[in-house]
Structure formats: C-alpha cells, structure tokens
Amino acid sequence: MDNDLERGDRERVNGQSSSVAREVPDDALLREMDGLEVYTPPRHAEGIVGWTMFDTPTAQDDTVVALLPKDKIGKVPNRGLVRIESEGDGRTYLGIVQAGPFAEPDGLRGDAPLVVTVQVRSGQMLLPQFHGRIHIELMGQKSGKAVTPPRFRPLPSSPVFLLDAGETRELLRCEGDMALGLAVGHDDLKVGIPSGRKSVMPRHTGVLGTTGAGKSTTVSRMIQQAQKAGMAVILLDVEGEYTEMGRPADNPEMVELLAERGIAAKGVSDTALYHLVGTETTNLRHPNRREFSPPFSRLSPYMVCEILDLTDAQQTRYWQAYENCKALLRELGIYPQRVMGRVEESHERRLERLDEFAEGYPGMTLGALLDVVSAFLHTVERQEDSPRLYSTEFRDSADRVMRRVKQSKAESAVSWRALRARLFRLMRLNVFDSRKPGVHSIDYDELARPGAVSVIDLSDMEAADLRNLVIADIIRGVERAQEKAFDAAARSGAEVPRTLVVVEEAHEFLSVERVRRMPNLFQTVSRIAKRGRKRWLGLVFITQHPQHLPDELLGLLNNYVLHRINDANTIGRLRRSIGGIDAGLWERVTSLAPGQAVVSFTHLSRAMLVTVDPTQCRLRMAEE
Ligand SMILES: Nc1ncnc2c1ncn2[C@@H]1O[C@H](COP(=O)(O)OP(=O)(O)O)[C@@H](O)[C@H]1O
Ligand SMILES: [Mg+2]
C-alpha cells in the first residue's frame, strides 16, 4: 500500500520533469556512455579519492577544486592532506582540504527548485545521484624529497590521493614527546612538542583565547608533559587556579574525556606552592607550601621608581637617598661586610658586577632606605633633634646617618614627604625583607631544578603594580639560576637543564598601557626572552585579552596556541602580527569548541587544528 503510494508519487514527479537524476539519461544514452572508453588514470589507480576540476573564473591561486565520487565523500575529511598527481606534466602537488567535502547532485545545482521539491516531498526515495566537492589549498609542489611553493597548478582531471598517517606525519612534522592533542581531520594523528629542541619552547609561546576556551586546561597539560620530559616549570598563577595541580582531575566531564582517550587522571608530582608572606593561597593544605618574602635589595632602583610612579622631582630624591644609603652601608661595614677592619672580598667582587638596571644594592632593605629618606626630610625641615630611625641597619647609628645626609645638598620638603609616604605604604605591606619565622626568600636554584613544578599563587595580591614587581623579580631570579645551571652543564658536557616560566593573565603583567608607563619592566622581560633562547629558558604567556598585549611582546613569541577568540578586531590584529597561519584556519578561530585550538609552533611545517588532550590534573575553577 505504502509502496504503491510512493511509486505513484515518483511517477508524478517524473511526469513533471525529465531531469530528476536517476531517471535522467534514457537507455540509449546510457548504452552510448557504456560504449565510450572510460578514463582510467594510468598510475596509482589505487587510493584515488577524486579528480581535480577545471578552473572557473573565480578560481584562486592557492586553491584547486576536486570532485569526488559519492563513495569517497566519507573518506576525505576536512583538513585532511592530499597529494595531486598532475595529469600530463608529471608534477606532484601537496594540499590540504580547506573546505568541504560538500555533496552536490550530479548535473544540477544543489539548490535547484526541482531538487528542493523532490527532497521535501519524497525524502530519501528520489534523492538524485550526487558527488562530492572539496576545495584543496595547495601547500606546495614536491620536488624529490623537498616541498617547494607551487609555481604551477595541477591540470584538470588529475587524480587526488589521501595521504596515509605516515606520510601526513612526515609532512606536518607534528611529533614531539610532550603530547598536546590530536590533529583535527586525521585519524589518531598525535600532535606533540619536541621537548629537546632548542628551537621550539625557548622561542617562547603565547596561549590566547577567550574565557572558557580551554587555555588553563592546555597549560596544565603542557606543564605536566614538560615535567615528564624533565623540565623545571615555574607557574605565575595570578588567579590561584593551579594550586591543586598535585591532585588528579576529578571534574566529571574531564574524567569522562580522559577515559575516552585512555589517559589516566593523575596529579602533577613534585609540586611546590609558594605564596607571598601575608597573603592567602587558594590551597592552604598543600603538602609543600612555602611562604616567601623577596629581599628589597633584589629590585632594580629603576624598576622601583616605575612601580612607585614617582614624579621627576621624587625620582631625583629617590636616587639621592639610594646613593647615600649605599654609602652608609659601606661606611658601617654592612655591605661590603667589614670584619675586624677587613673588607669581604667576595662582596667587593659582587659590587663590581652590579647591574642596577637589573637589581638593587645588596643588603639594602626597604627599612634602611626609608630611614635615609626620613633623615633627609628631617634635615630639609630643619628640625634640631635627631630623627628616630627604625631599621636594624641604622637605628643605632642615627648620628652617622644624619652627618652623612647633612653633607648632601637637599631641598623641597614637599617631594621628600611624598616620597616618604610612598615608601612607607610599600613598607606597610610587609612583603619585603620579612623576618617572620618560617618565611624565606625564594631559592631560585630549587625552582630551576629539573622536574620541579613551582606554582606561585599570586591570587591574593590586590596591588597590581606590586604583583608585577614580584613577577618580574621571580622571572629574573629564575633566569639567573637557569643561566648558571645551563653554563655549568655546558662546561661539563652534561645534559643541559631546561626551564619553562608560565605567566597567567599576561595582559595584566604586560599590557600596552603598562608597558608605556613602565618601560623598564618590559625591557627586563624582553632581555630575559632574548637570553632565554640561548640558555634554554622558555616563556609562556597566557591571556584572554590578547588585544591588550603590545606588539613588542607578540614579537618575542614564536609559538602559539590559539583557542577561541570572538572578537574580529582582535583576530585582525593578531593576523597582522602572527605569521604562518593560513586564512582558512584564522576563520576557524571564532568558532572553536572548548579545548580546540589552532596550533602554530616552530617545529610544525604548518599551523594545525588540534583537539587538545583533557588534563590529567585538577584545576580549580576560577571565580566568575
Ligand atoms: N582540552 C579540552 N578538552 C575538553 N574540554 C575542554 C578542554 N579544555 C577545556 N575544556 C572545557 O572548557 C572548560 C574551560 O576550560 P579552561 O581551560 O578553564 O578555559 P580557560 O582557561 O580558557 O578559561 C573546561 O572546564 C572544560 O569543560
Ligand atoms: Mg584559565
């Protein structure tokens, strides 16, 4: 009954037009076609998935269209790699499926009214015969083993072959021991980062994408893999998201994804959690938690002036106080230390190498500097008595301090007072030179130890400038320790140590606005980035606001993981500063699913679309 109805429908449709696919060619035509010599590609007939088509007036230089028989449509994935054996001239081209596979009816346009009518009226029954169409972006022309930019185009009707996994891997060069994920468009094609290659991680990395796009998951995966590869990792955790990395992933969604991929949930071993003295951490129960306090003497006076946002007049006073404080420390035998009239040699040598763009005067505490400023203010205000001094260095030597300060010409009580107020505010944070029991300065050799993962929780620091000062200081400390260890290993012929420094919320650390206001801070980072290339220190910057990153910073990065970015302007700007990602991939960036990313690394022959592996370790959800 039903069948009869359908047959009736079909006949009606056929009656209306003779051009519906299956029934189109009449018997005579079919017989004629059978008689024709069918085109058979002479070589490699096996493995052919389609043939290139003629170019149309809208054809573009780098792309070529190929048609696929119906049964091959399901075999040619988007982003799949293909080889085209140009028929007639013997040239071989390599390409990537940039769009498609599309299905279109034979001999008709897919949106022809007839096709539409048939489709809605009869569903599957009267589906015209169809074929596939793919748009191939030409990646290059093969000459021997090398691949060169294409100078010609494949001729029409050239056979198209899908590359197998081995060929694909060889062409994309996407292997590496640090597993990152799976390539989209390939069956089980793993994408990794080679941890041993100096030309990759030490060329610095940006992980960019909107909130919730998968950055932290990617970063935690990367860190765990880096540790496995024997690197030291230091993570500047601005939101306190990574403080529980030592525990296995327990978010049900991640656990399920891990199970699907056959990856075990596992915490990162050997983590240490650092937080600044007097600030909270998001994981108080971490088994290896360390409260730290940086010595004020580590900070470059130039950087301090920037952070304190001093006016020119205040800066002049700052330097006057700083120079006099130095002289007093020497005079009193505090630094260089003088024991029974003898000056400590090693201190003198250290002072000879002192680079005040990078560090302050050894042994100078914030309290001592503040005392000198107070003494100046006292003199300028022409007060008779001696001021009260508080630092351990100077409190018993007020007369010496006053004598010295009086020799130095000083004026303007207003700016001395303002300077004192600013230093006093910094002092009140109780961050520098802390004497609290159990609190130490960071041991940078320990941070740079191979296999150590150090999470620095900065989530409870409200003063952004101060936090940046701490971040800059830690990066610099790590760089020194890394250089020392690297040079020692290089001298002795041992395996060189490798270190990664990961900076979350990098836009807060190095925004365009901040870099303009604090040129010294950026110069420090830039110098470290350049030295890091030679001494195996890789920087990784993460941000959900890439539009705030200055071009100078993007200029330092050579590897990118681009998660979803919604804003077209931001993408436009990134496109101008990041090379090597083709237009088709840029278009994908706005619509990536969480965990998907466009990955462009120096070891890859071209940027790839990657489904990043789920993370094995636990991440804390950042507060919304
Ligand atoms: N690689 C991934 N695979 C599967 N899901 C992911 C992946 N990365 C992220 N997600 C999903 O997206 C959510 C947000 O990821 P997250 O890494 O915190 O993003 P971001 O740090 O960019 O804000 C995760 O909780 C998870 O649900
Ligand atoms: Mg995050």
179 lines ligand 1 (CB under 6 A): no
Give pLDDT, residue 200. Answer: 96
Q: Please indicate whether residue 214, judged by its CB atom, sits closer than 6 Å to ligand 1.
A: yes
Asked whether residue 178 is domain-assigned, the answer is: no
Are 94 and 123 contained in the same domain? yes
Helix (H) or strand (E) holding 274: strand 271-276
- Shared-domain flag, residues 408 and 523: no
Regarding the beta carbon of 211 and ligand 1, being less than 6 Å apart is answered: yes
Residue 34: predicted pLDDT: 64
Q: What is the pLDDT of residue 490?
A: 93
Residue 468, in any domain of the structure? yes
Q: Are strands 596-600 and 608-612 parallel, antiparallel or unpaired?
A: antiparallel
In a domain, 371, yes or no: yes
Establish if 479 belongs to a structural domain. Answer: yes
Query: Does 424 lie in the same domain as 447?
Result: no
Q: How far is the CA of 45 from the centre of ligand 2 (A)?
A: 50
Q: From 404, 428, 452, give the residue that closes a domain.
A: 428
**Shared-domain flag, residues 458 and 501:** yes
Cβ pair 121, 17 in contact under 8 A = no
Phi then psi for residue 437, to 5 deg, are -60, 140
The response to whether residue 217 sits with its C-beta less than 6 Å from ligand 1 reads yes
Same domain, 562 and 605: yes
Between the CA of 215 and the centroid of ligand 2 the distance, in Å, is 5
**Could you list the mean pLDDT of each consecutive 10-residue stretch along the chain, which spans 624 residues?**
43 41 56 58 68 87 89 87 89 89 82 78 71 90 83 90 84 92 87 95 97 96 96 96 95 93 94 94 95 94 88 95 97 93 93 92 96 94 85 93 90 92 91 92 96 96 85 93 96 95 93 85 91 96 94 94 95 90 90 96 92 95 56
Residue 442 CA to ligand 1 centre (angstroms): 31
In terms of domains, do 63 and 147 share one? yes
| CATH number of the domain where residue 465 is located | 3.40.50.300
DSSP code at position 242: S
| Owning domain of residue 140 | 2-163
Q: Does any ligand 1 atom lie closer than 6 A to the CB of residue 164?
A: no
Together in a domain, 549 and 605 = yes
- Interval between CA 220 and ligand 2 midpoint (Å): 10
Q: Is the CB of 253 under 6 A from ligand 1?
A: yes
Structure tokens at 576: 């101008």
257 lines ligand 1 (CB under 6 A): yes
Ligand 1 contact via 256 beta carbon (within 6 Å) = no
268 located within any domain: yes
Tokens of 378: 């006292």
User: What pLDDT was estimated at residue 571?
Assistant: 95
Read off the pLDDT of residues 314-347 as tens digits, 9 standing for 90 and up.
999 999 999 999 999 999 999 999 988 899 999 9
Ligand 1 contact via 215 beta carbon (within 6 Å): yes
DSSP H or E run through 620: none
Q: How far is the CA of 610 from the centre of ligand 1 (A)?
A: 14
Q: What SS3 state is found at 591? A: helix
Q: Is 112 in the pocket of ligand 1 (CB under 6 A)?
A: no
Number of domains in the chain: 3
- Residues 487 and 492: their CA atoms lie apart, in Å, by 9
**Based on C-alpha coordinates, what's the Rg of the chain?**
33
Q: Which of 547, 470, 551 is nearest to 503 (CA)?
A: 470
**Chosen domain end from 428, 455, 480:** 428
Query: How far, in Å, is the centroid of ligand 2 from the Cα of 57?
Result: 47
- For residue 237, how far is its CA from the centre of ligand 1 (angstroms)? 17
Which residue owns the Cα nearest ligand 1 atom 14? 212
Q: Are residues 202 and 148 in the same domain?
A: no
Kindly compute the dihedral angle of the four CA atoms of residues 503, 508, 513, 517, in this order, to the nearest 10 degrees: -80
Domain membership of residue 529 (yes or no) is yes
In this structure, which residue's CA is closest to atom 2 in ligand 1?
A: 595
pLDDT digits (tens, 9 = 90+) for 75-122: 888 888 899 999 888 899 999 898 889 988 887 777 788 777 777 776
**Total length of the chain:** 624
**Confidence (pLDDT) at 1:** 41
Distance CA 535, CA 483 (A): 6
Ligand 1 touching residue 246 (CB < 6 A): no
Q: Is the same domain home to 349 and 470?
A: no
Determine the distance separating the centroid of ligand 2 and the alpha carbon of 624, expressed in angstroms: 11
**Ligand 1: distance of its center to the CA of 614 in Å?**
8
Does residue 306 share a domain with residue 283? no
Measured by CA distance, the residue closest to atom 16 of ligand 1 is 214
**Residue of minimum CA distance from atom 11 in ligand 1:** 594
In a domain, 618, yes or no: no
Q: Which two tokens stand for residue 400?
A: 């010496």
- Say if residue 346 is in the same domain as residue 402: yes
The residue from 380, 402, 428 where one domain ends is: 428
Q: Does the beta carbon of 511 lie inside 6 Å of ligand 1? A: no
Q: Which ligand lies nearest the alpha carbon of 249?
A: 1
Q: Is the CB of 222 under 6 A from ligand 1?
A: no
With a 6 A CB cut-off, is 594 part of the ligand 1 pocket? yes
Judgement on whether residues 19 and 123 belong to the same structural domain of the protein: yes
CA of 242 from ligand 2 middle (Å) equals 9
Q: Is residue 182 part of a domain?
A: no
CA neighbor of 220 nearest in space, from 186, 179, 183, 278: 179
